[in-house]
Amino acid sequence: MATHTEQEILAGLGEIIDEVAGVPADQVTADKSFVDDLDIDSLSMVEIAVAAQDKFGVEIPDDQLKDLKTVQDVITFIQK
Amino acid sequence: MSTTEVVVTGLGATTPLGGDVATTWSALLEGRSGISTIEEDWTAELPVRFAGVAAEDPSTKLERHRLRRLDRTQQFSLIAAHEAWRDAGEPDVDPVRLGAAVSSGIGGILTILNQYDTFREKGWRRVSPFTVPMLMPNGPVAAVALEFGAQAGAHAAVSACASSAEAIADGIKLIRSGRADVVIAGGTEAAIHPLNLASFAAMRALSTRNDDPQGASRPFDANRDGFVMSEGAGMLVLESAEHAAARGARVYAVAAGAGYSCDAHDIVQPDPEGTGQARAILDALADADLKPGDIAHVNAHATSTPMGDVGETVAIRKALGDAAADSVAVTSTKSMTGHLLGGAGAVESIATILALHHGQIPATINIEELDPGVVVDVVREKPRELSAGAVAALNQSFGFGGHNIAVAFRRP
């Protein structure tokens, strides 16, 4: 499986979050909380997880999705 | 007992004739058709290859991320509701005193069909997590309530092609009941899809005049052969007269009352005697405290089907009596908009209100030979002036299932 750099994943998540939730990609930084900072609801998180799977080839199971609170959490999950 | 007076202070619409009320209304006065051939491959196998597609696609007004989580019915609803709200001067109202009554005849059918395709082709994980809130028939009213913070109640009457007239009737009741000061009321439909055209065509309900789409919707014409499916939405801001007066709002008309009945005759065919429709009209007059002679104009349901149009004129005559029926000017704006199904009653209520407001009744287009069974005066060829002394007008909407709704509007 191809590995992705942190910058690649961040840029990819920015595109996904812009598309799914209308948050401009430049506001998607590693320290941001999905709920508190980016105002992303639980159904949008499901869309983001599925889109991230398509983009990075890493499945995020539902029971782990709820623990991914920040953009950095997702980057770390995809890299590991 | 005195009844709370309800007035109309805002209008919004997106239709095959235009993306707002002003362009829709001017097209109605010009006698312009909003129907066109659908230039897509999927029409090849269908007996009907035209429809009334919304003149402005919602993608021109809503952001991309909102489009993907809203069914097209919801998209139309929000666009029309925002226009109506702005038109009403953005009333300052306590959220718990703001209600919504928004209907769709079919609901989120495009979402159902598109997501079913996704499910079959790609599996359950690719089905949008927003599928359920997009497909549910209360989706449009829920989207409007959420958008405007309407907490007094959100109601979604479902009565096929009478749905949005019933929503307006429900909005009037909501204010009269004392539960709300302001209600956003109307309806929406977005069902132009091969399956839906096939389904209505299978009933033999649609015109198949493929060589002349703009001449296909011809209510009251002797050679009409069915309705034309259209999409869009219409919204009204209803308000208690007291609330409107306190903020100095412009009043288009009084939403004077509404009548309801059910034919209980046949699941889809109207009662040819017009008995149930006449009861709805009489019920509306009683509710509005109007006399038959007060009704100067009727915006008819008349969809261009062989059965429906003539029976409706019989019902008007039965309800109003000969003297009043002789002097009422009847029109069907569906000749230009096509049939917006669950959005029809709202868009046609707007046309009824504007006829009173501007004193102009749009003509029914495409009548080359008036059906000899038509027993009322139909406005043809050019708009007709409504006299300064005219008091009130009716919008009539009927739906599969035998639903009959009449809404009475009076000049302020």
Structure tokens at B223: 């050679």
Q: B152 phi and psi, to 5 degrees?
A: -75, -20
* pLDDT value, residue A80: 84
Structure tokens at B281: 């009209």
Residue A53, domain member (yes or no): yes
pLDDT for A1-13, tens place per residue? 457 899 999 999 9
Name the catalytic one among B161, B193, B243, B357: B161
* pLDDT value, residue B21: 98
Q: B284 with B258: CB under 8 angstroms? A: yes
* pLDDT value, residue A3: 78
Q: Establish whether B301 is a catalytic residue.
A: yes
Question: Quick check: A2 contacting B, CB < 8 Å?
Answer: no
Nearest to B125 among A20, A44, A50 (CB): A50
Burial class (CB in 10 A: 0-12, 13-18, 19+), B166: buried
Rounded to whole angstroms, how far apart are CA atoms B11 and B328?
25
DSSP secondary structure, B149-164, as one string: T--SEEE----GGGHH
Residue A1, domain member (yes or no): no
Residue A51 sits in a domain whose CATH number is 1.10.1200.10
Question: What is the pTM for the complete model shown?
Answer: 0.96
Structural domain boundaries enclosing A13: 6-79
Nearest CA to B333 out of B312, B321, B350 is that of: B350
Rounded to whole angstroms, how far apart are CA atoms A75 and A57?
13
* pLDDT value, residue B65: 92
Residues comprising chain A, all counted: 80
Q: B377 with B328: CB under 8 angstroms? A: yes
List every span in chain B annotated with CATH 3.40.47.10: 7-246, 259-410
Burial class (CB in 10 A: 0-12, 13-18, 19+), B388: exposed
CATH class of this structure's domain B7-246 = alpha beta
Nearest CA to A28 out of A77, A72, A78 is that of: A72
Residue A11, domain member (yes or no): yes
Q: B148 with B81: CB under 8 angstroms? A: yes
Domain count of the fold of chain A: 1
Nearest CA to B175 out of B159, B152, B156 is that of: B152
* pLDDT value, residue A2: 57
Q: Establish whether B161 is a catalytic residue.
A: yes
pLDDT for A23-80, tens place per residue? 999 999 999 999 999 999 999 999 999 999 999 999 999 999 999 999 999 999 999 8
Q: B161 with B341: CB under 8 angstroms? A: yes
A window 14-73, beta carbon within 8 A of B: 18-22, 43-44, 46-47, 50
Q: Mark yes or no for CB contact A50/B69 under 8 Å.
A: no
pLDDT for B79-117, tens place per residue? 999 999 999 999 999 999 999 999 999 999 999 999 999
Candidates B68, B131, B146, partner chain A, best to mutate (most A CBs within 10 A): B68
| pLDDT means over runs of 10, chain B (412 residues) | 87 98 98 96 93 98 95 98 98 98 98 98 94 98 98 97 98 97 98 97 97 98 98 98 98 98 94 94 98 98 95 97 96 98 98 98 98 97 94 97 98 96
Nearest to B64 among A22, A43, A44 (CB): A22
Q: B364 with B380: CB under 8 angstroms? A: yes
Q: B258 phi and psi, to 5 degrees?
A: -145, 150
* pLDDT value, residue B2: 62
Nearest to B129 among A18, A21, A47 (CB): A47
Q: B207 with B216: CB under 8 angstroms? A: yes
Q: Is B100 in a helix, a strand, or coil?
A: strand
Name the catalytic one among B243, B339, B357, B403: B339
Measure B130 CA to nearest chain A CA, in Å: 7
Non-local (6+) Cβ contacts of B240 within 8 A are: B4, B5, B6, B7, B175, B181, B182
Closest residue on chain A to B131 (Cα): A43
Q: ipTM of this predicted complex?
A: 0.89
Residue A45, domain member (yes or no): yes
* pLDDT value, residue B1: 45
Q: Up-side HSE of residue B371: CA atoms within 13 Å toward CB? A: 26
DSSP secondary structure, B174-206, as one string: HHHTTS-SEEEEEEEE---SHHHHHHHHHTT-B
Nearest to A21 among B65, B126, B129 (CB): B65
DSSP secondary structure, B383-397, as one string: -EEPPTT--EEEEEE
**Reduced DSSP (H G I as helix, E B as strand, rest coil) percent helix, strand, coil of chain B, to 5:** 40, 20, 35
Q: Mark yes or no for CB contact A43/B129 under 8 Å.
A: yes
* pLDDT value, residue A33: 95
H-helix or E-strand spanning residue A45:
helix A42-56
Give domain B259-410's CATH superfamily.
Thiolase/Chalcone synthase (3.40.47.10)
Q: Establish whether B262 is a catalytic residue.
A: no
